[in-house]
Structure 1
Amino acid sequence: MDFQDSDALEMFVDYQRAQNLAATTIRNRCSILRTLAANTGRLVDCDVFSLRRYVGREGVAAGTRRTERGAILAFYTFLQTEGLRDDNPATKLPVIRVPKGEPRPFTREQVDAMLESGAYRKTRAMILVGYYQGFRVSQIAAVHGDDIDVLTNTIRTVGKGRKERRLPLHPTVRELASTMPAHDWWFPARKNPTTHIRASSVTDLITKAKVRAGITDPRLTPHSLRHGFGTDLVENGVDIRVVQELMMHESLSTTQVYTGVSEQRKQASIVTLRPRQVPAHSGRRQIEVAA
């Protein structure tokens, strides 16, 4: 990437920080734009045809395409607004249609298997926070001892969009807290203990526990702990609006993606219809005789 591209990216980062966007969002957007530059050979003066070719390349999931389109659109809108480009080629990118998401939760048995897989203590703690609090990996990574308030039985966390909330503390996580640092990061970075580990490190550690547990379903990721949290709450009869608040979702429709209905519940529901004997005959002859 030449200096002009690097300079534009640096200014774009400053702009996003001034917007108070999350560090994870800024980092992911920069990663997308650097990959775009590596594929097209240029960034600041990239044309719409190159952008379409990049976004439409084969082997990319619809959700990823949409995320990449959003990052590209934000970048070129910034360039045009700042007068670094006269036009905005990203406005000509087609809207990405993404199929409705399906929940992919870990079952309780799979969570138990990961906890008993030989995972280290801190990895087990990550799994417990992910499942019993429904936290994203970024929230798990940033748990601090001072976030725990045993008097109010709550845990402080920061979700998407820098939304800060205090949520009810699950008894299992409350017990876990007694074994974790009371006034420090629960999961400090190895090279710099004054800060917490990255979300990607949490992903790697939980994924290794999944593999050791013999769980081979490629659809299950560390985020599936959050799916399991939402699904099991609904399975236990918790109102969907309450689940929405616990998962810190702006939209109820977003919560519904995370709250699948288990096969067991489907089976239990369908048999509530009163059974009847299957008729051996049509009964048409009896009707004709009666007539």
Structure 2
Amino acid sequence: MHDRDIRALEYFEVYQRSQHLADTTITNRRSILTAFARHAGALVDADVFSLRGYIGRPGPATAGTRRTERGALTAFYTFLHEDGIRADNPALKLKPVSVPKGKPRPFTAAQIDALLTTGAYTRTRAMILLGYYQGFRVSSIAPVHGHDIDLTSGRIRSVVKGRKERWFPLHPVIAELADTMPTDGYWFPARGGREGHILPGSVTNLITRAKKRAEIAERKLTPHSLRHAFATDLLEEGVDIRVVQELLAHEHLSTTQIYTQVSEQRKDAGIRTLAPREIAATSGRGSVKIAA
């Protein structure tokens, strides 16, 4: 990569940190931009045809991946243009990437039981419980600290997307779990002499191992599927969708609404609310007198 491109990436990173963007967002964008630079042979001076060629390249990339790449490229070239590093913004000519509406991939109750009863370590079991009973993402599971638990008010604190601090109702299962976890330290401390908590990727790896140990073969089921099960089961039990939205910390109700697509059981129950009526064997048309 050219020196000018390297400096531009460094300036862009500082720009993003000044906006208080999440480390994962900054890291992911840098990875995308570095891969694009290798593909196009240039970064700062790339044209719109190179951008389109990268997003539309042949291969197995999903529509969601291509949309994420477009977002990273748009943010970078908008920054270059606004800061006067480039006179134009080639990303303005990139069309939005059409992404099919996603469908939830929840674990079943039997699968969650299998995760918990087929030899997972104690801390992995705790991660699984936080994923299902609190609906936490792996990025929220990794940094759980004893100070995040308020047993008096029955609340648990978490930092959600956008680095927003939120307090959520504490499920009784997690309240009971808290009695066995550190009260003045991270629940999942880092290992190998590193300070702080484990990385979200480590949470993903540990739960994935538990999934393999439980002989759950579905490839589409991931640690995030615990969160999907949390939302789906709440809706199955009749919890109002606005309440579920708040528990998931979704900014938009439309994001929560994908969970309403799952349940065939709810569809069956809904249609059966129409009371049956006695249906006559004939229409009675022959007995009706037609007025002259």
TM range (shorter): over 0.9
Distance 2:152 2:250 in 1: 26
TM-score of the superposition, structure 2-length normalised? 0.92
Report SS of the residue matched to 1:99: coil
The equivalent of 1:106 in structure 2 is 107
The equivalent of 1:126 in structure 2 is 127
Distance 1:259 1:183 in 2: 39
Report SS of the residue matched to 2:118: coil
Q: 1:221 to 1:70 in 2, by over 3 A?
A: same
The equivalent of 2:4 in structure 1 is 4
The equivalent of 2:272 in structure 1 is 271
The offset of 1:146, in angstroms, is 0.8
The offset of 1:290, in angstroms, is 6.1
Report SS of the residue matched to 1:135: coil
TM-score of the superposition, structure 1-length normalised? 0.92
The equivalent of 1:40 in structure 2 is 40
Which letter maps to 1:26? I
Distance 1:244 1:30 in 2: 31
The offset of 1:287, in angstroms, is 3.3
Report SS of the residue matched to 1:157: strand
- Is 2:226 the counterpart of 1:228? no
Report SS of the residue matched to 1:59: coil
Greater displacement, 96-105 / 189-198 = 189-198
* 1:86-235 alignment runs, 5 A limit: 86-235=87-236
C-alpha contact (below 8 Å) 2:9/2:30 kept by paired residues: yes
What whole-Å deviation, never above 9, does each CA across 1:8-46 have from its counterpart, x for those lacking one? 111111111100111111111111111212222221111
Report SS of the residue matched to 2:162: helix
Distance 1:288 1:196 in 2: 81
What whole-Å deviation, never above 9, does each CA across 1:106-125 have from its counterpart, x for those lacking one? 12211111112222111111
Greater displacement, 171-180 / 36-45 = 36-45
Distance 2:40 2:247 in 1: 43
C-alpha contact (below 8 Å) 1:141/1:202 kept by paired residues: yes
The offset of 1:52, in angstroms, is 0.7
Distance 1:79 1:88 in 2: 8
RMSD of the TM alignment (CA)? 1.9
What whole-Å deviation, never above 9, does each CA across 1:104-160 have from its counterpart, x for those lacking one? 211221111111222211111111101110111101111111111111111110001
Greater displacement, 219-228 / 151-160 = 219-228
C-alpha contact (below 8 Å) 1:141/1:196 kept by paired residues: yes
Which letter maps to 1:210? K
List runs of 5+ in structure 2 lacking aligned partners: none
- Is 2:285 the counterpart of 1:287? yes
The offset of 1:260, in angstroms, is 4.0
C-alpha contact (below 8 Å) 1:167/1:246 kept by paired residues: yes
Report SS of the residue matched to 2:187: coil
Distance 1:52 1:249 in 2: 31
Report SS of the residue matched to 1:158: strand
C-alpha contact (below 8 Å) 1:235/1:261 kept by paired residues: no
C-alpha contact (below 8 Å) 1:104/1:219 kept by paired residues: yes
C-alpha contact (below 8 Å) 1:188/1:194 kept by paired residues: yes
The equivalent of 1:243 in structure 2 is 244
C-alpha contact (below 8 Å) 2:39/2:54 kept by paired residues: yes
Q: 1:141 to 1:32 in 2, by over 3 A?
A: same
Which letter maps to 1:220? L
C-alpha contact (below 8 Å) 2:103/2:262 kept by paired residues: no
The offset of 1:2, in angstroms, is 2.8
C-alpha contact (below 8 Å) 2:168/2:247 kept by paired residues: yes
List runs of 5+ in structure 1 lacking aligned partners: none
Number of corresponding residues: 288
Report SS of the residue matched to 2:30: helix
The offset of 1:268, in angstroms, is 2.9
